[in-house]
Every structure is written in structure tokens, then in C-alpha cells.
Amino acid sequence: MKGQILLVSGPSGSGKSTLLKRLFSEEKGIYFSISSTTRAIRDGEINGVHYNFISKEEFEEGIKNDEFLEWAQVHKNYYGTSLKPVKEQLELGNIVVFDIDVQGFAIAREKFKSLITSVFITTTNKKELKKRLESRGTDNAKTIENRLMNAVGEMEHILEYDYFLINDDIQKSYKGLRSIVRAMRLKSTNINLRQTVENWIDC
């Protein structure tokens, strides 16, 4: 496979979607792995763009049929990454972006180790995360409490990731993320070694 995986994790509300949206609009050859989920669709979300919103029964059928390269239960809902579209994009040499939780990262890492560059994105502190979840206005107080509790557990995994971004200033964080993508494109593993050496000798 020629492509690579940019795997992003971090507490819900830390700004992952906001940063990724900008990345997709500004960088070429990047494909978003659309996860499937059983959680309710939020205002502003589009089925088949942000997620494939499916029922619990459909999700469990997908698990049975081995359709997911990884899946997890997050905030009491199922979330999973479909294997087929990811493989297709990797064959095309694209960078495939996963926005998945720490459990999904552990599984994906086992399967695609050398292809993954991982980034953990968070806020300066828990108070700021709460503020963002409240101002996003997509979750009720109970869901926000649940997400904050989950965030504490996720923070324990920071050291497992290649990069760490504190998304305080959006401009600065975006530049950080873009630098990571640009460095991925320069990885020596992207080079066709034989071709490169032959070209070098011939000239």
C-alpha cells in the first residue's frame, strides 16, 4: 500500500473537526475516513459526510461481517471505521484521516503500524473543554458531563501518540497540524527506492 494514515484523537469538543475541515479545504490528496456510528445526528451534520448514521442492528451486522477495521463503544454509542474505503484510498497513495478515540487507535496501530502518524489534540484544560462543549450547543448537560468524564480517561493516553497539539489558538494549532501533514509527505517510506537509485545513477 502506498498511502498513509493520519490518526487524530482527543476529547470531544477539543476542536478536531474544526481543524480537519480546514485541512481538507487547503491540502490535496487527503481523504476523510467516514466512520459509522449509532449516535443521534446533530444539527448541521450530514449523513454520509460527517458520519454514516446507522442503527444498532446494522452496526452489529457490520461487526459480524468483519466490515470494520476497528470499532469501539464511546459515550455509550458504537463508532467504527470501515475497512474497504480506507484500503482503496491507501492503494491510491492518499493520506487517510481517522478521527477516532483512544481505543480505536490501539486497534488500528496493531493493524497499520508503520502507516500511521498519530496526533492527540486537546484544550488547555478541562474548564475550557466544558466551555466549548457548551458553546457548540449540540449536547445536553448530561451528555456534556459524560463527555468530560470520558475526556479525563483519554488524556491518560497522550504519550502513546507521535504528536501533541494544545488547540488554544486555532491559527497556531492549524499550522502545527499542517506541518505534521507536510512532514508525512516527506517520509522516506514514500519513496520508491529502486527507481530513485536508478534515476540517480543514470543522470
Binding partner of 157, given ligand 5GP, ligand ADP, none, CB within 5-8 angstroms per partner class: none
122 binds ligand 5GP (CB under 6 A): no
Q: Give the residues across from 96 on adjacent strands.
A: 5, 31
Q: What is the dihedral of CA 91, 94, 100, 103, to 10 degrees?
A: 50
State the amino acid at position 114 in one-letter form.
S
- The listed partner (ligand ADP, ligand 5GP, none) that binds 117, CB under 5 to 8 Å by sort, is none
Choose the one of ligand 5GP, ligand ADP, none that binds residue 5, judging by a C-beta under 5 to 8 angstroms depending on kind: none
CB-side neighbour CA atoms (13 Å) of 38: 17
94 binds, among ligand ADP, ligand 5GP, none (CB under 5 to 8 A by kind): none
| Residues 156-185 close enough to bind ligand ADP by CB under 6 A | 167, 170
Q: Which is nearer to ligand ADP, 8 or 90 (CB)?
A: 8
Q: How many CB atoms lie within 10 A of CB 184?
A: 17
Footprint on residues 74-93 left by ligand 5GP (CB under 6 A): 74-75, 79-81
Beta strands across the sheet bearing 4-9: 30-32, 95-99, 4-9, 116-122, 163-166
What's the CA gap between 192 and 137, in Å, rounded?
A: 48
Candidates 12, 38, 89, 118: give the one binding ligand 5GP (CB under 6 A). Answer: 12
Among 15, 80, 104, 176, binds ligand ADP (CB under 6 A): 15
User: Is residue 44 a known part of a binding site?
Assistant: no
Instruction: For residue 98, give the H/E element and its range.
Output: strand 95-99
Q: How far is CA 38 from the centre of its chain?
A: 18
Regarding 14 and contact with ligand ADP (CB under 6 A), the answer is yes
Q: Is residue 147 near ligand ADP by the rule CB under 6 A? A: no
Residue numbering of the annotated binding site = 10-17
Per CB under 6 A, residues contacting ligand ADP are 12-18, 132, 135-136, 167, 170
